[in-house]
């Protein structure tokens, strides 16, 4: 599914070392993302591993999230190499994760699946934003703006992987550019 280069909405703020067990607990890995009903169900369990002190992420009546932007700290997506992690976030309705740094496997899986843009921040945004703040991510300009005060923060360019994510992942991109047949 193609992604917009402008993402606007409330943010969901996390901290450092958000591992894949927090993103999607292992007990939900039996869900098959290629089956539409199970894809939606997987999204309803996104961030279900967080402690109860966090607000529920997928809190809409249909099991999706009102938060299209997730903000994290350092080492986002660490832990086991689970493709389900970015898929669960995308299935819930998240469109971008903005973090200081990523575990390589989460970054790679985000690109491969095309579910969420893994954007790196120039500064520690998990201490600047609060859950529910309205923001706008401009992928083309490499910025995130907090809408309450129009303060703009720099993001590192996503680079050559942007077209892959925008196309909806590696296979969709390969079809788009004619590497494989539709």
pLDDT tens column, 135-151: 999 999 999 999 999 99
For residue 123, what are the β-bridge partners?
none
Q: Which residues on neighbouring strands pair with residue 144, listed in sequence order?
A: 137, 153
φ, ψ of residue 120 to 5 degrees: the values are: -100, 135
How far is residue 160 from each of residues 10, 26, 57, 164, measured CA to CA in Å? 27, 31, 30, 8
For residue 47, count other CB atoms closer than 10 A to its CB: 25
Mean pLDDT of the region 61-84 = 95
Task: Locate all alpha helices (DSSP H) within the chain, ordered by sequence.
Answer: 20-23, 36-44, 84-92, 104-113, 162-167, 170-176
pTM: 0.95
User: If 0-12 CB within 10 Å is exposed, 13-18 middle and 19+ buried, where does residue 37 land?
Assistant: exposed
Give the confidence band of 3 by pLDDT, cuts at 50, 70, 90.
low
Q: Where are the alpha helices (DSSP H) in 9-167?
A: 20-23, 36-44, 84-92, 104-113, 162-167
Kindly indicate the confidence band of residue 80, based on its pLDDT and cuts at 50, 70 and 90. Answer: confident
The pair phi, psi for residue 45, each rounded to 5°, is: -100, 5
Task: Give the model confidence (pLDDT) of 46-67 as tens digits.
Answer: 999 999 999 999 999 999 999 9
For the stretch 152-180, pLDDT in tens is 999 999 999 999 999 999 999 999 999 99
Q: Are 56 and 66 in contact (CB under 8 A)?
A: no
Rounded CA-CA distance 19/109 in Å is 14
Residue 137: predicted pLDDT: 97
What the chain holds in terms of domains, given with CATH numbers, is 6-176 (3.20.19.10)
Cβ neighbourhood burial of 118 (10 Å; 0-12, 13-18, 19+): buried
Contact assessment for residue 76 and residue 96, using Cβ atoms and an 8 Å cutoff: no
Measure the CA–CA gap between 178 and 158, rounded to whole angstroms.
23
């Amino acid at each position: 599914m193609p992604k917009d280069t402008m993402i606007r909405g409330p943010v969901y703020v996390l901290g450092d070392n958000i591992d894949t067990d927090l993103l999607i607990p292992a007990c939900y890995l039996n869900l098959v993302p290629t089956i539409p009903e199970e894809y939606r169900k997987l999204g309803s369990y996104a961030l279900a591993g967080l402690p109860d002190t966090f607000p529920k992420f997928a809190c809409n009546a249909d099991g999706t999230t009102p938060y299209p932007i997730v903000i994290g700290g350092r080492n986002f997506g660490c832990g086991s190499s689970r493709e389900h992690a970015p898929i669960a976030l995308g299935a819930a309705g998240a469109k971008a994760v903005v973090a200081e740094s990523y575990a390589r496997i989460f970054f790679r899986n985000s690109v491969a699946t095309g579910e969420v843009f893994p954007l790196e921040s120039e500064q520690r945004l998990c201490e600047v934003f609060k859950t529910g703040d309205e923001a706008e991510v401009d992928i083309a300009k490499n910025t995130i703006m907090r809408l309450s005060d129009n303060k703009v923060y720099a993001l590192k360019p996503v680079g050559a992987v942007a077209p892959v994510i925008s196309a909806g992942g590696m296979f969709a991109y390969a079809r788009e550019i004619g590497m494989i047949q539709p």
